[in-house]
Amino acid sequence: MMQVDPTSPPIPSPALRPPVNRTQEAAQDFEAQVLGVLLQPMFAGLDGKGPFGGGAAEAQWQPLLVQEFGRAIAAAGGLGIADAVRRDMERSGG
């Protein structure tokens, strides 16, 4: 049986969460994609040797890892691409 701590803060309902800025979200997603493309060549030269390297699994999962690196960098502020894209989108009415 699950125990609930009565002193824990309540989970906010969706109505109380701050609104999502779709323009900022789209701009950050775009920056994450750009960063993923820029990071891809850095991983292309890895030989995959070692106790956990190489094989079909690495080849299959490596692009996903690089994509997540791009997302993490963009979420941490990135290179400023998202800000420039957001400003341009807002200026053009998008």
In order along its 94 residues, the chain shows pLDDT tens digits of 556 676 766 666 666 656 668 899 999 999 999 999 999 998 877 766 766 667 777 778 888 999 999 999 999 999 999 999 999 999 988 5
pTM: 0.69
Copy the structure tokens of residue 91: 């200026």
Q: Domain coordinates of the chain in residue numbers?
A: 54-94
Q: Classify the phi-psi angles of 80: left when phi > 0, otherwise alpha if psi is within -120 to 50, otherwise beta.
A: left
Rg over alpha carbons for the chain, rounded to the nearest Å, is 19
d(CA 5, CA 8) in angstroms, rounded, equals 6
Contact of 37 with 45, CB cutoff 8 Å? no
**C-beta of residue 25 within 8 angstroms of C-beta of residue 89:** no
The C-alpha atoms of residue 86 and residue 29 are separated, in whole angstroms, by 11
